[in-house]
Amino acid sequence: MQGDNVDTGKAASKTVGRTGDDEVFLSIIIPAYNEQRRLGASLKEVLGFLSGQQYIGEVLIVENGSSDNTFEIAQSAARENPSVRAVREQRRGKGRAVRRGMLEARGKYRFLCDADLSMPIDQVNRFLPPELPDPEVAIASRGVPGAIVYNRPAIRALTAKWFNRLTRTILLPGLKDTQCGFKCFRADVAEFVFGRQVVDGMAFDAEVLCIARRQGYRIVEVPIPWYFDADSRVRLITDSARMALDLLNVRRNCRRGIYD
């Protein structure tokens, strides 16, 4: 059986991340495209982190049109651990995968987490109560005081600086870093924002933040330590050009009231 609405592996039929009637506090959504090399190790770190918390957590791995064994690794993890769910999203696009994960999650807070764990997973609680009182949207930032960036090549830093400047100019003035792949949304905010998202590519971050800002949700930038991973899925030239075009489309959608 094929299609976007199919499946999840054996763990899909379980009540994931719950014990009895206990509420899931945190959902961690991991979009995964051709991540067989690092998904297993990253998932071990994420589950180790959650096992040490007082709250109940769940992990949604959204496989996204991979040509390797990413989905099989996710399914295996779901069979072994009831707090893991493996979801297959047949069509490519990080924005598409994240949207599906955010809307299928059960947590009171829903945290987008890149599979490379370029931000150490032990930073997650800084985005949640009580460390951050009642956050609506909290985003990891490499551009605010207190952030530390390790080993990023100069060309990557220059491209990121250019894109951030473009994003601030045409869409999100004031935000220093819209593209870091670690973001937390309160459940009601996630359902509103991702329910209106239309960008399937990598510029979806800017789009959902634009929607959140238009609705008056407070966006907090959290300074983080961030480590460059050379095995990045971002194609520097082609993806940057496509993202710039998507920014223009988002601005046009805003002016038309599409997100309202």
Please tell me the pTM assigned to this model.
0.88
pLDDT of residue 53: 97
Q: How many CA atoms lie within 13 A of 201 on its CB side?
A: 15
The two structure tokens encoding residue 120:
């150490």
pLDDT of residue 20: 40
pLDDT of residue 181: 92
With respect to residue 199, please indicate whether it lies within any of the assigned structural domains: yes
Report the C-alpha gap between 119 and 122 in whole angstroms.
8
With respect to residue 1, please indicate whether it lies within any of the assigned structural domains: no
pLDDT of residue 103: 98
- Name the pairing type of β-strands 84-89 and 148-150: unpaired
Please choose, from the candidates 97, 104, 88, 101, the residue with its C-alpha nearest in 3D space to the C-alpha of residue 200.
97
pLDDT tens-digit map of 95-128: 999 999 999 999 999 999 999 999 999 999 999 9
pLDDT of residue 232: 65
Question: Sign of dihedral through CA atoms 91, 92, 97, 103?
Answer: negative
* Residue 201 buriedness (CB in 10 A; 0-12 / 13-18 / 19+): middle
With respect to residue 138, please indicate whether it lies within any of the assigned structural domains: yes
With respect to residue 90, please indicate whether it lies within any of the assigned structural domains: yes
CATH of the domain at 105: 3.90.550.10
- What does pLDDT average to over the chain? 89
Helices within the chain (DSSP H only): 39-51, 70-80, 94-104, 154-170, 187-194, 204-214, 236-256
Domain containing residue 234: 10-256
With respect to residue 3, please indicate whether it lies within any of the assigned structural domains: no
Q: How many domains does the chain have?
A: 1
Residue pair 147/64 in contact by the 8 Å Cβ criterion: no
- Those residues of the chain that have pLDDT short of 50 are 1-21
Report the C-alpha gap between 91 and 64 in whole angstroms.
6
Beta-ladder partners of 183: 112, 139
With respect to residue 42, please indicate whether it lies within any of the assigned structural domains: yes
pLDDT of residue 104: 97
Residue pair 102/14 in contact by the 8 Å Cβ criterion: no
How many Å is the Cα radius of gyration of the chain?
Answer: 17
